[in-house]
Amino acid sequence: MNIPENLRDATSHEWILVEGDTGTVGITDHAQAELTDIVFAEPPAIGKSVKAGDVAAVVESVKAASDIYAPVGGEVVERNEAIEADPSLLNTDPFGAGWIFKIRIADAAELAALKDAAAYREQIGA
C-alpha cells in the first residue's frame, strides 16, 4: 500500500497535507478500499468552522454512507467540487485529484496528535 510519507493521518482514516497554515484533507487509500465504489461525495461548505474530530463531509459507497472527520480544527477555505461530479476520484486517486477540502488550521499543535505514515501503516496492519 502506497502511503505518502509527507502526510499525517487520523485514526479515522483521513489524511492531511500541510502547506503553511493550510491543510488539504482526503481519505486514505485504506479507507477508499474498505468503502469500495464511492458513488456520492459532499464536501463541506466554504467558511464552515470545524473542530478536530467534527464531521466535515459525507461520502456514500455501494456498501455504506460514511462521515468524513476534520483531522484538525479550523475553517474550510476550499472544497473539491470535482468529487461531487465524479465521486470515483476518491477511489482512483485518493491522495491526488480525490482530495475533499482545504482547511485553514486554527491550532498547528493539533497536528501532533495525528499519525505519521509508519504509525498509520501499523494501525491498519499494512
Output the pLDDT for position 108: 94
| Residues 50 and 56 sit within 8 Å (Cβ to Cβ) | yes
Q: Give the whole-angstrom CA distance, residue 88 versus residue 40.
A: 8
Output the pLDDT for position 5: 66
Q: Give the whole-angstrom CA distance, residue 29 versus residue 20.
A: 24
pTM recorded for the entire structure: 0.94
β partners of residue 104: 22, 75
Output the pLDDT for position 32: 95
Which secondary-structure segment (H or E) carries 92?
A: helix 89-92
Q: Give the whole-angstrom CA distance, residue 84 versus residue 40.
A: 7
| Residues 89 and 120 sit within 8 Å (Cβ to Cβ) | no
Output the pLDDT for position 6: 80
Q: Give the whole-angstrom CA distance, residue 113 versus residue 73.
A: 12
| Residues 117 and 3 sit within 8 Å (Cβ to Cβ) | yes
Domain ranges of the chain: 8-115
The domain defined by 8-115 folds into OB fold (Dihydrolipoamide Acetyltransferase, E2P) (2.40.50)
pLDDT below 50 — which residues of the chain? 1
Output the pLDDT for position 3: 60
Q: Give the whole-angstrom CA distance, residue 110 versus residue 72.
A: 6
Q: Give the whole-angstrom CA distance, residue 40 versus residue 27.
A: 14
